[in-house]
Amino acid sequence: MLDHPTRIGRLALVGLGLIGSSIARGARANDLVDTIVAIDRDPAVLERVRTLGLADHVTDDLAAGVAEADLVILCVPVGAVGPVTAALAGALKPGAILSDVGSVKGAVMAAAAPHVPDHAAFVPAHPVAGTEQSGPDAGFATLFQGRWCILTPPEGTPPEAVARVRGFWEGLGSVVETMTAAHHDLVLAITSHVPHLIAYNIVGTAADLETVTQSEVIKFSAGGFRDFTRIAASDPTMWRDVFLNNKEAVLEVLGRFNEDLAALARAIRWDDGDALHALFTRTRAIRRGIVAMGQETAEPDFGRRGAKG
């Protein structure tokens, strides 16, 4: 693949958590790059990156790390994308492409774009993939296989830069789609952000009930509750930043969720079994669609393994 048009000479990854370390592993496994530079401000992370052999160069020096890079990908919480861009922008070489992996695009682009020099291109990206685990040890090369990656290039971005980023993600196994940042933020509000918010919320509610002990919540969690605890175990800093930076879309979708929930509560209170049955039948079809599209396992119970018994 040495002469593949999207092959990257030098890739700099800023932030080597779950996503950054998965990109490093995937880029190596798929032979998409010549050289990987790993940049992180946390010495413990850098040490793990060295031990795991994830990169050719490992540094905590942002400017030095990105200086010769052809593609720089920021894999940091979305609240850090603006400040990190400001700090490294002066070191970007002519023709460099800056990208990110943030779950919010509008606010991130507004914070970062003004710092990007004219001689570089900015191609924001969001791979819709992850697990509830964090850190360089949690990553794996196939994380992006068969998952969508959404690009939200600002108007005027050179098409060649968009094509290179698209090619890179396709090389990692992703299906790439392009949309506006505003639409991205609305789509992700319903497919990711509000689901996380209500999962965090129900787990918090359960912890705070005086009438049911925490031990009971844990013991009887196989009734459904435990499904919610997975995404409610996701990285707190990343998710705090997501909600603060996609406020408008999250509150809008949450408003719709609340309206629907009020109607459902009313159906329960007034014994409207037909309304409940109709909704519960309709929602089955959505899961079938997700399984049919290869975005979910068809095995019962997510094919859970390893729980006792």
Site string for a copy of itself, 245-274 (x = CB under 8 A): --x--xx-xx-xxx-xx--xx--xx-x-x-
**Cα distance between residue 165 and residue 171, in whole Å:** 10
Closer Cβ to a copy of itself, 52 or 233, answer by number: 233
Query: Pseudo-torsion of CA 297, 29, 188, 266, nearest 10°?
Result: 20
Binders of a copy of itself in range 203-242 (CB under 8 A): 203-209, 211-212, 214, 216-234, 236-237, 239-241
Stretch that binds a copy of itself, among 2-10, 59-67, 80-88, 287-295 (CB under 8 A): 287-295
Interacting residue with a copy of itself among 10, 25, 147, 164 (CB under 8 A): 147
* Residue 74, beta-bridge partner list: 14, 100
Site string for a copy of itself, 8-47 (x = CB under 8 A): ----------------------------------------
Going by their DSSP bridges, the two strands 8-14 and 33-39 should be labelled as parallel
Site string for a copy of itself, 116-135 (x = CB under 8 A): ------------xxxxxx--
Least spacing, CB of residue 98 vs a copy of itself, in Å:
23
Stretch that binds a copy of itself, among 20-28, 30-38, 60-68, 184-192 (CB under 8 A): 184-192
Least spacing, CB of residue 139 vs a copy of itself, in Å:
10
| Cβ-Cβ contacts under 8 Å for 44 (sequence gap 6 or more) | none
Amino acid at 231: I
Total Cβ atoms within 10 A of residue 145:
14
Binders of a copy of itself in range 74-113 (CB under 8 A): 103
Total Cβ atoms within 10 A of residue 219:
10
**How many Å separate Cα 227 from the centre of its chain?**
19
**128: which 2 tokens?**
């819709």
Closer Cβ to a copy of itself, 31 or 132, answer by number: 132
Going by their DSSP bridges, the two strands 148-151 and 125-127 should be labelled as antiparallel
Least spacing, CB of residue 113 vs a copy of itself, in Å:
22
Least spacing, CB of residue 191 vs a copy of itself, in Å:
4
Closer Cβ to a copy of itself, 57 or 148, answer by number: 148
Instruction: Identify the three-state secondary structure at position 57.
Output: strand
Query: Pseudo-torsion of CA 275, 276, 281, 287, nearest 10°?
Result: 130
